[in-house]
Amino acid sequence: MYRVVKTMDSIFINKNCQTRSGWKIALTIFVFLALTIGVNLVFMVDNAMIGNIIQCICLMLSVFIFWKLFERRPIREMGLINIRSGYRDLIIGLVFGSISMSSVFLLLLTTGSITLEKSLYKPNFSISLMSGLILFIFVGLDEEIFTRGYCMSVLSQTGRKWMPLIGSSILFALMHSMNPHMSLLSYINLFLVGLLLAYMFIKSKNIWITIGYHITWNYFEGSVFGFQVSGENINSVYTVNTPANNLITGGQFGPEAGIMVTIVIMLGFLYMWKFYKPIKGN
């Protein structure tokens, strides 16, 4: 009987008498899904944007609940430091993300891999620019608080230095599995983006830089340049013509399924390694 109980403890509890990180993450995801389904059933949400924002709020709420339940530490200890201390990194992330996606766009355009339906000098501005920004702010906050802030902090209890990096990046890639037109290269690039964001989090010691990067990467990708964002169509300033299946452009999934994004991600690692200087005191 003792051996059975001890075995059960080892499944759920680690040697430091902590609930294992995998169970913490799994419970957070379960509560998030239950909350999202419950809210949608009660309010019968039929607007896609509002539905996505509700989903983001439900995930962030689940993270905060389980952080307080299991970790019992201040929120800042998962990297969500006061914005007065983190605004510089937020700005760096916003600029970094916009430059990264603009580089992907310009490289694809100048090499003839994509074409524009209208001239670059004839942008189509509309209210969707604002609604897209609101949506991607929520998405950036939501995914970074969960995958980098929460999951990396929880996975650090394993004592294996590689686990927060690899584990959170695998989870980040798998989170997009339900998106249309997923491919092997899209999984690889999403894993690499996850690694880059994890490296940014570790080096900056807060998640504001990753939140900023995530927001403008998605925003410029979808709302400005007109690419699919992980397989989803977004109203945009420009409309691009992309070959249906193409290893360079990413085809119907969007740039994250293309080699050009792989190159830009590698350059992102180089920038963070050689040029980024963390804020003193973080």
Residues β-bridged to residue 116 = 240
Residue 209: predicted pLDDT: 97
Cα distance between residue 206 and residue 91, in whole Å: 13
Residue 15: predicted pLDDT: 81
Cα distance between residue 158 and residue 22, in whole Å: 10
Cα distance between residue 100 and residue 220, in whole Å: 9
Residue 45: predicted pLDDT: 78
Residue 189: predicted pLDDT: 97
Residue 2: predicted pLDDT: 44
Are 97 and 217 spatial neighbours (Cβ–Cβ below 8 Å)? yes
* Domain boundary assignment for the chain: 82-274
| Regions of the chain where pLDDT drops below 70 | 1-9, 281-282
Residue 112: both structure tokens together: 């003839």
Q: Which residue, 276, 203, 238, is CA-closest to 119?
A: 238
Helix (H) or strand (E) holding 46: none
Q: Which residue, 277, 280, 263, 273, is CA-closest to 92?
A: 277
Residue 201: both structure tokens together: 């989090």
Residue 235: predicted pLDDT: 86
Residue 49: predicted pLDDT: 85
Can you point out the beta strands (E) in the chain? 115-116, 240-241
